[in-house]
């Protein structure tokens, strides 16, 4: 083995280390969820606007055809 | 035999310290490269698994919150359940023009008015009520009435007080005198609302001519 071979091996090792590091970075930074799951975990507001309902009831206490 | 041969070669090699060093470094690098390539799939697989576990925890937490929200929503729904027909009547999930037209006619009859003509614009025909993009849409309509002006005033009050939300946008009155003359023609332009999608198949300018409505304001 000579110096050139050692350089090639060193560069190859560095490339492989960078490759592994990049793959790990890519996996950990990927935050995409499947579309179905994203829809399923969408927050749900359980509060109903009862004021509107009361306003409708109040407003319809006037003339209503029988 | 082979061991002796290898030992002999190594001894020959070890006589030159430079060659020995290069060989040692080279073999070390080669071993590291081979090991890296071998463990690469395992490392990516472990990273993916960790990522999936992390996402699963997030999803589990979000779903737990959603279940709580659904339980709360069910309780709230039970509280207002008895009033839902009122909400459906005020803002139907279909155009329900026929029902509304019947009400318009009944009100006209009740206030001693004759319907000359009724015209609805852009009536939605069919759409999927389970769609998520349902929003409040409006239907414009015009109704021409004949009768006493006072009756028209009370008719308008009744129309606007009807449970289905109706907004009167304009009123045209034609006649010789407004207060005394019994026979005025009044054209009311108004809009009603329904819950529908952005685009739905519509009938444009549905016109109900005078021949389809008798003087008592009932469609034939």
A20 touches chain B (CB under 8 A): yes
Cβ proximity of B214 and B112 under 8 Å: no
Torsion of CA B100, B81, B167, B110, to 10 degrees: 50
If we measure between CA atoms, which residue out of B116, B113, B104, B109 comes closest to residue B182?
A: B113
pLDDT top residue among B42 and B91: B42
Q: Tell me the C-alpha distance between B22 and B120, whole Å.
A: 93
Q: Residue B40 — φ and ψ, nearest 5°?
A: -55, -50
Mutate to test the interface with B, among A31, A44, A54 (most CBs of B within 10 A): A44
Q: Describe the crossing of helices B2-14 and B17-80 by its angle, rounded to 10 degrees.
A: 110
pLDDT of residue B61: 92
pLDDT beyond 90 at B72: yes
Contacts of B63 in chain A (CB under 8 A): 40-41
pLDDT beyond 50 at B215: no
Of A3, A48, A60, the CB nearest to B76: A48
pTM comes to: 0.56
Closest approach of chain A CAs to the CA of B122, in angstroms?
26
pLDDT of residue B211: 37
Task: Give the model confidence (pLDDT) of B113-142 as tens digits.
Answer: 888 888 888 777 766 666 667 788 888 899
Highest mean pLDDT among A25-29, A49-53, A59-63: A25-29
pLDDT of residue A44: 87
Are the beta carbons of A13 and B29 separated by less than 8 Å? yes
Q: Tell me the C-alpha distance between B134 and B92, whole Å.
A: 12
Which residues make Cβ contacts (< 8 Å) with residue B59, sequence separation at least 6? A33, A37, A40, A41
Give the residue extent of every domain in chain A. 1-32
Task: Give the model confidence (pLDDT) of B49-59 as tens digits.
Answer: 999 898 899 89
Closest approach of chain A CAs to the CA of B163, in angstroms?
5
Q: Tell me the C-alpha distance between B138 and B127, whole Å.
A: 15
Are the beta carbons of B163 and A60 separated by less than 8 Å? yes
Are the beta carbons of B69 and A56 separated by less than 8 Å? no
A34 touches chain B (CB under 8 A): no
pLDDT of residue B181: 53
Q: Tell me the C-alpha distance between A13 and A5, whole Å.
A: 12
Of B22, B90, B106, the CB nearest to A1: B22
What DSSP state is assigned to residue B175? S
pLDDT of residue B80: 86
The stretch B153-157 carries a mean pLDDT of: 86
């Amino acid at each position: 083995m000579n110096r050139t071979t050692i350089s090639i091996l060193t560069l190859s090792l560095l490339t492989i280390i960078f490759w592994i590091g990049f793959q790990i970075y890519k996996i950990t930074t990927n935050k995409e969820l499947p579309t179905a799951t994203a829809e399923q975990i969408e927050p749900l507001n359980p509060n109903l606007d009862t004021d509107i309902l009361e306003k409708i009831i109040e407003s319809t206490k006037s003339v209503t055809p029988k | 035999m082979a061991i002796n041969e290898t030992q002999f070669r190594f001894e020959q090699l070890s006589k030159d310290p430079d060659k020995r060093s290069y060989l040692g470094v080279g073999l070390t690098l080669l071993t590291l490269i081979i090991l890296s390539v071998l463990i690469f799939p395992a490392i990516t697989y472990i990273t993916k698994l960790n990522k999936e576990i992390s996402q699963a925890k997030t999803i589990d937490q979000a779903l737990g919150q959603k279940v709580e929200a659904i339980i709360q929503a069910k309780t709230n729904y039970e509280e207002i359940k008895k009033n839902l027909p009122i909400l459906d009547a005020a803002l139907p999930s279909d155009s329900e023009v026929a029902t509304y037209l019947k009400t318009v006619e009944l009100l006209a009859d009740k206030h001693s008015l004759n319907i000359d003509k009724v015209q609805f614009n852009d009536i939605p025909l069919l759409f999927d009520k389970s769609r998520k993009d349902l929003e409040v849409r409006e239907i414009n309509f015009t109704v021409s009435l004949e009768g006493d002006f006072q009756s028209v005033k009370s008719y308008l009050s009744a129309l606007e007080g009807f449970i289905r939300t109706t907004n009167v946008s304009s009123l045209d009155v034609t006649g010789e005198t407004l207060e005394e003359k019994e026979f005025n023609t009044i054209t009311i332009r108004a809009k009603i609302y329904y819950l529908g999608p952005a685009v739905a198949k519509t009938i444009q300018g549905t016109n109900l001519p005078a021949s389809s409505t008798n003087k008592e304001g009932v469609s034939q």
